[in-house]
């Protein structure tokens, strides 16, 4: 009742899953990932224990295929399950049990497992695979999104659309130093969830990416004077306080202002009622 892509970046620094389904909050059930270990998608009468147990097996040194084999061997309902796994070395495995609702199937490649069930047909997986192959120059979140979008455009889940999710872990970490969770975006109930997920990915870059060094302006002279004036108009004592309120704190650089942040501050000042 779902289609997903499990992937690893070419350099091995990121692993992730993108998934969509006619199912409420698919991101709460299907994906799991841990940097250095691997990534997992469990679906079709989903056994969510595959996520916990699969990561434990990968941590013990099992390959993607060995992990999947052991998960299935311990599951009496294996023929109703579907799963895809990519390990930290790029090994991959996918399974579609004989009890999965038609159309169901998948494909693997180095660092890749694509699978889906209750699909309009095999063209969903075929188009996803083609999109993955053509997206080698993309960062992993964008590559996973492009692959998922290709499946959605090909018809996806034949029952319709409801939810989608993107989970990526990376050595570059996340908001908290030491955490490998780089992206955890979910659209739980939406008429066009894959498109909405893409919008959330763009917002994630806005709030969490470091600014481009070419977009940094020294906080001096006219720029510094303008920032002081704008802060006064929005009623905030400092750029740090205003940026924290607006969730732009990761775009702050000492003695500089990001053009994006400056433009948003200008917009905020313009929106204030005249005094």
Q: How far is CA 76 from CA 47, 73, 79, 81, 93, in A?
A: 11, 8, 8, 10, 19
pLDDT given for residue 182 in this prediction: 95
pLDDT given for residue 146 in this prediction: 98
Judged by phi (left if over 0) then psi (alpha if -120 to 50, else beta), residue 241 lies in: alpha
pLDDT given for residue 235 in this prediction: 94
d(CA 21, CA 163): 6
Domains and CATH numbers, the chain: 2-208 (3.60.20.10), 213-270 (no CATH)
pLDDT given for residue 138 in this prediction: 97
pLDDT given for residue 66 in this prediction: 98
Helix, strand, or coil here: 32?
strand
Q: Write down the pTM of the prediction.
A: 0.92
pLDDT given for residue 210 in this prediction: 86
Provide the total of helices (H) and of strands (E) in the chain, helices listed first: 8, 12
pLDDT given for residue 92 in this prediction: 98
* Angle, vertex CA 186, rays to CA 32 and CA 62, nearest 5: 10
Contact predicate 156/124, CB 8 Å: yes
Beta bridge partners of 105: 116
pLDDT given for residue 275 in this prediction: 63
Beta bridge partners of 165: 19, 186
DSSP calls for 10-28:
TTSSEEEEEEEESSTTGGG
Helix, strand, or coil here: 59?
helix
Contact predicate 110/129, CB 8 Å: no
Q: How far is CA 267 from CA 78, 253, 260, in A?
A: 55, 20, 11
pLDDT mean for each 10 residues of the chain (275 residues): 94 97 97 97 97 98 98 97 98 98 97 97 98 97 98 94 97 83 97 98 92 95 96 95 94 95 95 79
Contact predicate 251/259, CB 8 Å: no
pLDDT given for residue 274 in this prediction: 73
pLDDT given for residue 273 in this prediction: 83
Give the dihedral sign, CA 215/220/221/226.
Answer: positive
């Amino acid at each position: 009742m779902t289609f997903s892509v499990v992937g690893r970046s070419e350099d091995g620094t990121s692993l992730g899953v993108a998934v969509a389904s006619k199912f409420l909050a698919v991101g709460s059930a299907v994906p799991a990932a841990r940097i250095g270990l691997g990534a997992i998608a469990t679906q079709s009468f989903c056994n969510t224990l595959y996520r916990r147990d699969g990561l434990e097996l990968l941590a013990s040194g099992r390959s993607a295929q060995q992990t999947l084999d052991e998960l299935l061997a311990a599951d009496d309902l294996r023929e109703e399950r579907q799963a895809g796994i990519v390990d930290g070395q790029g090994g991959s495995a996918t399974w579609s049990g004989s009890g999965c609702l038609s159309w169901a199937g998948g494909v693997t490649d180095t660092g890749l497992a694509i699978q889906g069930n209750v699909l309009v047909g095999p063209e969903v997986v075929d188009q996803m695979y083609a999109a993955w192959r053509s997206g080698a120059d993309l960062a992993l979140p964008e590559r996973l999104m492009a692959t998922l979008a290709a499946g959605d455009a090909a018809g996806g889940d034949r029952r319709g659309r409801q939810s989608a999710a993107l989970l990526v872990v990376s050595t570059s970490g996340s908001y908290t130093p030491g955490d490998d969770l780089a992206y955890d975006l979910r659209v739980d109930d939406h008429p066009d969830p894959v498109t909405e997920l893409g919008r959330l990915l763009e917002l994630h870059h806005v709030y969490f990416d470091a600014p481009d060094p070419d977009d940094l302006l020294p906080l001096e002279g006219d720029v510094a004077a303008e920032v002081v004036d704008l802060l006064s108009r929005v009623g905030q004592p400092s750029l740090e306080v205003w940026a924290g309120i607006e969730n732009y704190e990761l775009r702050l650089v000492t003695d500089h202002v990001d053009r994006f942040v400056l433009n948003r501050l200008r917009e905020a000042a313009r929106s204030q009622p005249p005094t």
